[in-house]
Amino acid sequence: MYYQENNLNKEISENCKITLLFCLTVFLTLFLLISGVNAKGRGREKNNNFTVEVKDKFVSVNAHDASFKKILRELESKTKVKVYISEEVGDKKVTLRISDLPDYSVGLILRRMQLKNYAVVYDQTLKAEVIHVLPEGHDISSVIRDKDVIMRSGRVELSRPRASTVNVKNLVSEDTGRKIVELEAGKRFDRFAVGKPVFCSDDKGKLVAYMFPVKVNADEFPEDEIFISEMKSKIAKGEGGIDWKAGEYWTYVVSARERDFPIPVYSNSLSPYFVTSATAAGVAKKQLNTSRVELTRYYFLGHRGQYYEFSGGDKVILIHAHRLTPYESSRILVRKNETESDVLDKTNKLKGDEKKSFTIYQQQTRDEWNKLKEQIK
């Protein structure tokens, strides 16, 4: 009897232990699950108003009324970009929707955030792009001195030169020029995108040509800000220097006047304008002893070269687009007050082989324009 009772007590004790262990396991499991859910919930609550994704060196940001500081910190954690935000800078709520932005153009995010005082530089010591954000009114030049500036608040790093069309006869429109480039590039590439042209001037500042950039294997050409950021970033990293041969990029020069051959030049390279304009502006500032210059003309002078014309105050200077050497305008430009009639008179005075060669050239030029006009209808 005692033996049976003792066994029964042992059995009850074992069952109690099993039940207790089971209850403890269930309790711990539920506790961990609930804790995990709360932790995840807190995580979502922390960042549920923005996401930063980086894939194959492309950045996407989706934010609604989110802290700009948190977005930049998240960006820093997922890219090689370094972020320095002054403690005096107050936080700001921003709403953004940016898709597939190349990582070398993250500075564009700052512009979309409408921050007041910032700069993006390439730091040779860190071997990385660095974002600096300072309070409004503070001198940001103190922290970016001797750095390669890629983007800076309040400045357009890639300004567009002008060219006059007054009294230019047989003018070719920009739209016609673009159609010609699309036609000619289509003979060489299956997929490409044509960018905005550089307006090129002759000696007298008159429009003489359009310089169209073309990007191969692309559906659209990058915005100016992204494009110049890419070029300046590559230069800063020593990936191109001022060598404008750029693989995926081509340049097509289209004449802006029908008296000239339609496409005098095309090449698997970039116009130096897209690569050296910012550096040339720095040279112009030193030469003119001013802190601000404006790019007023881009001269395309055939065998005499290509030149930037910068103005600062009441002074003007020319900078060679390849060598980046400065020149006084009078040494380069031959601004004779010639009219279209004067040019016609000169051609009428040609004799012998010169006249024969020029007549052949004129006929070939007319034939080529007529052919292109039929093809782009």
Domains of the chain listed by start with CATH number: 50-152 (3.55.50.30), 174-332 (no CATH)
Give the mean pLDDT of the chain: 79
Angstrom distance (rounded) from CA 327 to CA 322: 13
Q: What is the mean predicted confidence (pLDDT) over 132-157?
A: 78
Residue 244 structure tokens: 């404008």
pLDDT tens across 110-121, in order?
888 989 899 888
Q: Look at residue 251 and tell me whether its pLDDT is greater than 90.
A: yes
DSSP string, 2-38: HHHHHHHHHHHHHHHHHHHHHHHHHHHHHHHHHHHHH
Residue 335: what pLDDT? 58
Q: What is the mean predicted confidence (pLDDT) over 233-257?
A: 72
> How would residue 129 be classed by pLDDT, with cut points 50, 70 and 90?
confident
Sequence-distant (≥ 6) Cβ neighbours of residue 179 within 8 angstroms: 376
Phi first, then psi: what are they for 354, rounded to 5°? -60, -45
Residue 244: what pLDDT? 54
Q: What is the mean predicted confidence (pLDDT) over 12-33?
A: 57
Cβ atoms 227, 218 nearer than 8 A: no
Residue 195: what pLDDT? 92
Angstrom distance (rounded) from CA 350 to CA 58: 59
Of residues 195 and 48, the one with the higher pLDDT is 195
DSSP string, 306-368: EEEEEEETTEEEEEETTT--EE-HHHH-------HHHHHHHHHT--HHHHHHHHHHHHHHHHH
Q: Please give the helix or strand (H or E) that residue 226 lies within, else none.
A: helix 224-236
Of residues 109 and 298, the one with the higher pLDDT is 298
> How would residue 160 be classed by pLDDT, with cut points 50, 70 and 90?
confident
Residue 91: what pLDDT? 94
Angstrom distance (rounded) from CA 236 to CA 270: 17
Beta-sheet strand order (sheet of 58-67): 50-55, 58-67, 93-102
Residue 29: what pLDDT? 60
Angstrom distance (rounded) from CA 340 to CA 110: 49
Cβ atoms 212, 267 nearer than 8 A: no
DSSP secondary structure letter of residue 274:
H
Q: Where is average pLDDT lowest: 93-102, 209-218, 268-277, 339-348? A: 339-348
Q: Look at residue 45 and tell me whether its pLDDT is greater than 60.
A: no
Residue 41: what pLDDT? 39
Nearest to 97 by CA among 59, 129, 70, 132: 59
Q: CA–CA distance from 351 to each of 339, 348, 355 (Å)?
A: 21, 8, 5
Sequence-distant (≥ 6) Cβ neighbours of residue 244 within 8 angstroms: 269, 270, 271, 272, 274, 275, 276
DSSP secondary structure letter of residue 159:
P
Q: Look at residue 272 and tell me whether its pLDDT is greater than 70.
A: yes
DSSP secondary structure letter of residue 57:
T
Residue 300: what pLDDT? 92
